[in-house]
């Protein structure tokens, strides 16, 4: 009976992973619905990638690390394409330079979709064996594609923002009622010894490991992220023109780039608007501010008489809260940060906007990268970047957890990035 029950449980687990694989692959296709060939090919800046490339690269990941390496007899869909769709894996050889991805007018979208279908059919056929022998790698491929779903949305948003017509990607994205004011309160955080990092339950990237003790000084976190309305006050008080608020590199960046508001804002001197995936929309003063750099977040915190939380402070507050809550991506469309009701003591701890921390992206004590080419996934980027926590409105629901570590360079702000204030006690 035990062997039979274990077999049934294993079959159910395989079925669940197969269903997640299919849902993930389908969602990527859904996010690209309504985009034309040009929309999916153009690259608006070196940090972004074309939508077509995202759809192909996530397919390359499954083909390369699972079908090619683990399925005997599998033949590549096109032996030329790994050069086109490898991202940064040195172990996989030469690849097209990232800033040149927008030059790929060929293969066409139709050819790329045929590639996805070919790989999906091969994956579904091989999944029972792959799950049994390489289940963690299958899960990594699913998680990797979920990350690129968010990148696809943010990259398309940046592309469309550069169009003077201000086109909408999803008509439903701006169909959100204005929020209501949530008064700022301070919530005392955990003091003393806290366990940080993945607890081993469910999937985790290698950069979330190992779990380890961390000592927390007395501190408090704000009950909600900083809002658009508060940011307007910062602008009105000459926040972008006061050098004493800024880190030296941040002040150089503000002057060099002529920064005077978050990315996608316009209307200084009158009603503010911001660009969304539904085109230009009035700014909701109650919603979390987004598309700000680490430099801006740090300057605002200084102006507010506070600071950014450390990664450990943020994670300790989130450990016992529901990571499925908040404004996260459930389907194509509706991708807009908004004010929301509290999850217990906190509002928007998960979802809405990625929250900058004051912590550098560095390895946890005892960190070991994964073996093989996939070991390049996280570890080699642990230089010159800062950690963000919590997910955003463009993060697929179920993808993040308290130990999840996102990271970007301090000047970058095309992602859905915001902040929550902290202070020492």
Give residue for tokens 């955003």.
Answer: 392
Which residue, 152, 81, 66, 153, is CA-closest to 115?
81
Phi, psi of 61 (to 5 degrees): -60, -50
Cis peptide upstream of residue 210 (ω within 30 degrees of 0): yes
**Domain ranges, ordered by start, for the chain:** 2-161, 171-424
Phi/psi at 202 (5° precision)? 80, -170
Distance from C-alpha of 313 to C-alpha of 18, rounded to nearest angstrom: 36
Which DSSP category does 226 fall into?
A: P
Residue 125 corresponds to which tokens in the numbers above?
Answer: 């056929």
- What is the 3-state secondary structure of 115-145? HHHHHHHHHHHHHHHHHHHHHHHHHHHHHHH
φ/ψ of 90, rounded to 5, equals -60, -35
Predicted confidence at residue 179, as pLDDT, reads: 58
Residue 66 CA neighbour count, 13 Å, CB half: 29
Quick one: pLDDT at residue 269?
Answer: 76
Give the pLDDT of residue 102. 96
DSSP 176-193: ----------EEE---EE
The confidence score (pLDDT) of residue 4 equals 47
How is residue 22 written in tokens? 């299919």
Residue 347: its pLDDT value, please? 86
Burial of 265-282, coded b for 16+ CB within 10 Å and e otherwise, reads beeeeeebbbbbbbbbbe
Token look-up 């204030």 returns 421
The two three-digit tokens of residue 274, written as one number: 């911001």
Contacts of 375 (CB under 8 A, 6+ apart): 206, 369
- The single residue listed with the structure tokens 């929250």 is 355
According to DSSP, the β-strands at 219-222 and 186-188 are antiparallel
pLDDT number for residue 270: 78
Helices (H), 304-398: 311-318
Q: In what order do the strands lie in the sheet with 265-266?
A: 265-266, 273-276, 279-282
Query: Any idea which fold 171-424 has?
Result: 3.90.1580
Q: Each residue of 294-309: pLDDT tens digit? A: 999 999 999 999 999 9
Can you list the residues of the chain whose pLDDT is less than 50? 1-2, 4-9, 173-177
Residue written as tokens 């005077």?
260
CA–CA separation, 272 and 315 (whole Å):
33
Cα–Cα separations (whole angstroms), residue 257 to 235, 260, 301: 16, 9, 21
360 vs 420: CA distance, rounded Å: 17
DSSP letter for 399, please: S
pLDDT for the residue 176: 47
**Nearest-10 Cα torsion for 316, 318, 319, 324:** -170
pLDDT in tens, 343-384: 668 888 999 999 999 999 999 999 998 887 788 888 899 999
Length of the chain: 425
């Amino acid at each position: 009976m035990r062997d039979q029950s274990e077999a049934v449980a294993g079959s159910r687990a395989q079925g669940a992973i197969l269903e997640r694989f299919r849902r993930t692959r389908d969602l990527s296709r859904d996010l690209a619905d309504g985009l034309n060939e040009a929309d999916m090919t153009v690259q608006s800046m070196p940090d972004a990638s074309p939508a077509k490339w995202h759809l192909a690269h996530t397919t390359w990941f499954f083909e390369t690390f699972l079908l090619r390496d683990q399925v005997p007899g599998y033949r590549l869909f096109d032996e030329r394409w790994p050069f086109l769709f490898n991202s940064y894996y040195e172990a996989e050889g030469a690849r097209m330079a990232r800033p040149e991805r927008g030059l790929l007018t060929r293969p066409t979208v139709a050819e790329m979709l045929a590639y996805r279908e070919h790989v999906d059919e091969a994956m579904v056929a091989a999944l029972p064996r792959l799950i049994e022998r390489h289940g963690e790698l299958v899960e990594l491929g699913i998680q990797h594609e979920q990350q690129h779903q968010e990148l696809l949305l943010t990259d398309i948003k940046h592309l469309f923002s550069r169009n003077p017509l201000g086109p909408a990607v999803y008509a439903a994205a701006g169909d959100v009622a204005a929020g209501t004011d949530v008064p700022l309160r301070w919530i005392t955080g955990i003091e003393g010894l806290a366990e940080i990092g993945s607890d081993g339950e469910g999937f985790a990237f290698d950069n979330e490991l190992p779990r380890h003790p961390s000592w927390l000084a007395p501190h408090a976190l704000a009950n909600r992220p900083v809002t658009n309305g508060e940011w307007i006050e910062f602008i009105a008080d000459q926040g972008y023109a006061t050098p004493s608020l800024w880190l030296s590199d941040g002040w150089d960046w503000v002057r060099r780039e002529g920064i005077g508001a978050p990315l996608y804002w316009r209307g200084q001197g009158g009603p503010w608007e911001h660009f969304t995936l539904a085109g230009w929309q009035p700014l909701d003063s109650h919603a979390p501010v987004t598309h700000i750099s680490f430099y801006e977040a740090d300057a605002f915190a200084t102006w507010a008489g506070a600071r950014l939380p450390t990664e450990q402070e943020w994670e300790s507050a989130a450990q016992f809260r529901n990571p499925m809550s908040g404004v996260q991506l459930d389907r194509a469309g509706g991708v807009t940060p908004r004010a929301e009701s509290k999850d217990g003591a906190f509002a928007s701890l998960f979802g809405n906007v990625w929250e900058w921390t004051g912590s550098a992206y560095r390895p946890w004590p005892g960190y070991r990268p994964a073996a093989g080419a996939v070991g390049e996934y996280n570890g080699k980027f642990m230089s010159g970047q800062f950690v963000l926590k919590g997910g955003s409105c463009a993060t697929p629901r179920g993808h993040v957890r308290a130990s999840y570590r996102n990271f970007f360079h301090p000047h970058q702000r095309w992602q859905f990035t915001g902040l929550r204030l902290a202070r020492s006690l």
